[in-house]
Amino acid sequence: MIKTDRYAVFGHPIKHSKSPRIHQLFAEQTGQSLEYTAQDVPAEQFNTAVQSFFAAGGKGLNCTVPLKGLAWAFADRKTERAQLSQAVNTLAVQADGAILGDNTDGQGLVTDLTINHAITLTGRRILILGAGGASRGIMGPLLEQVPRAIVIANRTVDKAIDLAQAFQNKGAVSGCGFDDLQNRQFDLILNATSASLSDQLPPLPDAILAENGVCYDLAYGNEPTAFVRWGLRQNAAKSLDGLGMLVEQAAEAFFIWRGVRPETRPVIELLNSERRA
Ligand code: ATR
């Protein structure tokens, strides 16, 4: 009997995860036979759950909130982008049995912005709101696009300054508090705070978004997030949420595991039409 390769996403909470659906759609589209489930794993059970998953023959895992740091610590080997972001969202068994840790979030964001939405990042002024794990995960891939500058603004100013410091040798990056944003303008504002999840907004001055500027919330929901609504009120050329990034990071993980790159556009369109229904 041929055994179906097993994959899963671990997180806490995990009930509303779209990842099983996305990977099933990728599998159907590419003719791959695999199983992908969602498992609720609290942080204190992470190591045991991952060990048993791989011991039972599991091929790969996605890890989401609050487990990305633990997955980073667990991995035997890490890609450079995972090493830089200190977070891992994809674990994959290697031929020698070692577990490779990667982080596909930043690449997922960049692909969604540049390919799906035709937004140029090179030479642009980018503001990142928040200095937590989500912000750290996107810094490397954003800087590879050579923006004119990245400013990280955070409620706790020291965290923004520390994060900027960590990427200082990779481009023009600085950190500040929200109060320091007066009289500044940005072409792209990325919301990487967890404020969206409670429908809150970081305090932003008026006119901070340049003409034809773009807003992008790394979070997503069935309804537009508070930040997406803010962007629309600021007359953003586009005010987007993170559904495209979610599908793109999944496609990148699928490629790592299966060596096949799925087409993301039909999957994004399907998920979008379902939330409009
Ligand atoms: P994640 O892994 O999702 O990035 P995190 O590491 O806990 O989660 O970081 C959450 C980020 O959202 C932080 O930058 C946090 O600001 P502080 O560092 O000052 O705590 C930010 N954040 C959360 N709630 C916020 C709010 N209501 N307004 C502004 N920033 C908020």
Q: What's the 110 CA to ligand 1 centre distance in angstroms?
A: 21
Question: What residue ranges do the domains of the chain occupy?
Answer: 5-103+245-276, 106-241
Q: Which helix (H) or strand (E) holds 211?
A: strand 209-217
Give all strands (DSSP E) within 60-204, no chain letters.
60-63, 77-78, 90-93, 99-102, 125-129, 149-153, 173-176, 186-191
Paired tokens of 248 = 């793109």
Q: Is the pLDDT of residue 277 over 90?
A: no
Give 5-103+245-276's CATH code, choosing from 3.40.50.10860, 3.20.20.100, 3.10.290.10, 3.40.50.10540: 3.40.50.10860
| Arithmetic mean of pLDDT, 145-157 | 98
Across the chain, mean pLDDT equals 96
> What is the arithmetic mean of pLDDT over 5-16?
96
> In DSSP terms, which residues pair with 253 in a beta bridge?
none
Question: Whose CA is closest to 204, among 232, 176, 230?
Answer: 230
Which amino acid residue places its CA nearest to atom 25 of ligand 1?
Answer: 195
Distance 18 CA to ligand 1 centre (A): 23
CA-66 nearest atom, ligand 1: 2
- Please confirm, yes or no, whether 68 is among the known catalytic residues: yes
Catalytic residue chosen out of the listed positions 18, 59, 68, 78: 68
In this chain, the answer to whether the domains covering 5-103+245-276 and 106-241 adopt an identical fold is yes
- Output the 3-class SS for 181-205: HCCCCEEEEEECCHHHHHCCCCCCC
Question: CA-to-CA distance for 82 and 221, rounded, in angstroms?
Answer: 26
The pLDDT of residue 2 is: 65
Q: Quote the pLDDT of residue 53.
A: 98
> Atom 9 of ligand 1 has which residue's CA nearest to it?
132
Average pLDDT for residues 109-130, to the nearest whole number?
A: 98
Above 70 in pLDDT, residue 1?
no
Residue 139 has pLDDT above 80, yes or no: yes
Whether pLDDT at 182 is above 90: yes
Residue 224: partners with Cβ closer than 8 Å, 6 or more residues away = 232, 239, 241
Ligand 1: which of 194, 200, 218 to mutate, most ligand atoms within 8 Å of CB? 194
Unique residue bearing structure tokens 């930040």: 227
What pLDDT, in 10s, does the model give residues 203-237? 999 999 999 999 999 999 999 999 999 999 999 99
Q: Does pLDDT of 71 surpass 70?
A: yes
**Region 106-241: CATH code:** 3.40.50.720
Q: List beta partners, residue 10.
A: 39, 63
Residue 196 confidence (pLDDT) above 90: no
Model confidence, pTM: 0.96
Going by the DSSP 8-state scheme, the letter that residue 114 receives in this structure is I
pLDDT score of 149: 98
| Contacts (Cβ under 8 Å, ≥6 apart) of 260 | 30, 32, 254
